[in-house]
């Protein structure tokens, strides 16, 4: 029986500008995705039927993006194989860290490997877009400047940074933020900066923060705490998680000790290549060596 596990890493939106709204209601945006070395894990086992287990039973329903990705893959390829999937969650739902989208991307890559489909990155990214606007960046596995609805991706090189990510204990509906009449939808578009260092990012912002603060006071409290304690703060995506850039891993420890008890947090490092793609390369090398 074939069995292996792959990571589903988190992302941060280092900024998020809403630049317009399409007639179909979707928003035009510009954002910068940074992939982290922290996230969920998805385990794949060959099986006759398709099934999903999760350490959070509430997430193992039929609408889970992992199952939707598996069904889409079978529908598009005609593959009738099954799989026993086990999802171990570390990323909060409604946190703006891309947990569901990352899980879906890992499902696409893992099942492509398990079922021997060999569809390749481009085709898997196209299928990912059918599941959600954030899925392709996880499929491609590189930090990216994104435009359109988040589907037009330009790979970028980012300096390695450490982040403290605070989870204020709430879940945010993306639709609620995007449907708010007070949301800024006309931020002027900008060109991809020549440098994407911390100084450049300080000049950018997240248009969703004001609306999120209004609806969810806990987000405002987290942002204010990070600004006061770390000297910088930003919300990722439409929330609820907020983050601060750190000078290094060790600088996180005093902050974690002062973290309010009703919050949780984690420390993570940005990566140039997704942990998913690194794990896939290792998996393929192991399987190839076993065949020789």
Counting Cβ atoms within 10 Å, is residue 200 exposed (0-12), middle (13-18) or buried (19+)? middle
Residue 31 CB contacts under 8 Å (≥ 6 apart), including other chains: 13, 14, 15, 16, 17, 145, 146, 150
**Residue whose token pair is 């992302």:** 11
Distance CA 238, CA 278 (A): 28
89 catalytic, yes or no? no
Catalytic entry in 103, 112, 134, 207: 134
**Residue burial 14-44, b: 16+ Cβ < 10 Å; e: rest:** bbbbbbeeeeeeebbbbbbbbbbbbbbbbbb
112 catalytic, yes or no? no
**Residue burial 96-109, b: 16+ Cβ < 10 Å; e: rest:** bbbbbbbbbbbbbb
Catalytic entry in 11, 40, 112, 207: 11
Enzyme catalytic residues: 11, 134
């Amino acid at each position: 029986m074939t069995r292996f596990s792959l990571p589903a890493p988190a992302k941060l939106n280092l900024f998020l500008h809403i630049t317009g709204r399409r007639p179909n209601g979707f928003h035009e945006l510009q954002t910068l995705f940074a992939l982290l070395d922290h996230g969920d894990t998805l385990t794949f086992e060959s099986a006759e039927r398709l099934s999903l287990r999760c350490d959070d039973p509430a997430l193992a329903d039929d609408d889970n993006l992992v199952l939707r990705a598996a069904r889409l893959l079978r529908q598009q390829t005609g593959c009738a194989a099954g799989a026993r999937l086990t999802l171990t969650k570390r990323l909060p739902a409604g946190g703006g860290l891309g947990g569901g989208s990352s899980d879906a991307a890992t499902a696409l890559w893992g099942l492509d490997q398990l079922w021997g489909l060999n569809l390749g990155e481009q085709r898997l990214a196209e299928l990912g877009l059918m599941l959600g606007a954030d899925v392709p960046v996880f499929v491609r596995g590189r930090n990216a400047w994104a435009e359109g609805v988040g589907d037009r991706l330009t790979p970028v090189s980012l300096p390695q940074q450490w982040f403290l990510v605070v989870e204020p204990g709430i879940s945010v509906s993306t639709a609620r933020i995007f449907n708010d009449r007070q949301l800024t939808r006309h931020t002027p578009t900008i060109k991809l900066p020549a440098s994407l260092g911390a100084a450049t990012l300080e000049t950018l912002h997240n248009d969703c923060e004001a609306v999120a603060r209004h609806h969810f006071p806990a987000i405002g409290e987290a942002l204010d705490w990070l600004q006061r304690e770390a000297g910088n703060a930003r919300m990722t995506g439409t929330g609820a998680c907020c983050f601060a850039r750190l000078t290094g891993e060790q600088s996180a420890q005093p902050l974690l000790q002062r973290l309010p008890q009703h919050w949780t947090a984690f420390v993570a490092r940005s990566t140039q290549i997704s942990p998913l793609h690194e794990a896939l390369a290792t998996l393929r090398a192991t399987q190839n060596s076993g065949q020789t």
